Amino acid sequence: METLRLKIVTPEGEIFNDDVKSVTFPGEEGEFGVLPKHANLLSLLKPGVIEIEKKDSQKESIAINWGHVKVSEDGTTVLVDSAVPLVGESESDIAKAIKEAKELVQKASENKAALASVEARIEKAAKLI
């Protein structure tokens, strides 16, 4: 099974660093996915949810406000201003993560339609946990 190395870094430090099957990003020009051996590219990221499929096929989601992604044959590196992993061990942890994620994207965008779409994705991602 082929994988790609994914690193996600915020100003506070690294929040994700592992080999994954695939990852989907909220690109400035639209959502796009990255698989192993993807062509090199640089892209701006808008407020949204990074969706990760891990080696064991489990899904993980991380809400972001904005950032950049660099895809190369060596791996994929993401630099984001702020991020909230949508994970938790209890329902209250997940509810707290959803609330923080919604606040994060609301601060990053004034576009009400885009916010509604991102909030729906955040809630959908959290239900998959």
d(CA 46, CA 91): 28
Cα-based angle 16, 58, 25 (whole degrees, multiple of 5): 55
Strands, E, within 1-128: which ranges? Answer: 4-10, 13-27, 30-34, 41-45, 48-54, 59-64, 67-72, 75-80, 83-85
d(CA 13, CA 128): 26
| pLDDT tens for each residue of 38-88 | 999 999 999 889 999 999 999 999 999 999 999 998 899 999 999 988 876
d(CA 2, CA 14): 23
Domains of the chain: 1-129 (2.60.15.10)
3-state SS, residue 120: helix
Cβ atoms 62, 92 nearer than 8 A: no
| pLDDT tens for each residue of 8-24 | 999 999 999 999 999 99
Name beta bridge partners: 34: 23
d(CA 84, CA 100): 7
- Higher confidence at residue 81 or residue 126? 81
Query: Is the alpha carbon torsion for 61, 23, 71, 111 positive or negative?
Result: negative
Kindly state the greatest CA–CA separation across the chain: 41
Low-confidence winner among 4-13, 55-64, 92-101, 108-117 (lowest mean pLDDT): 108-117
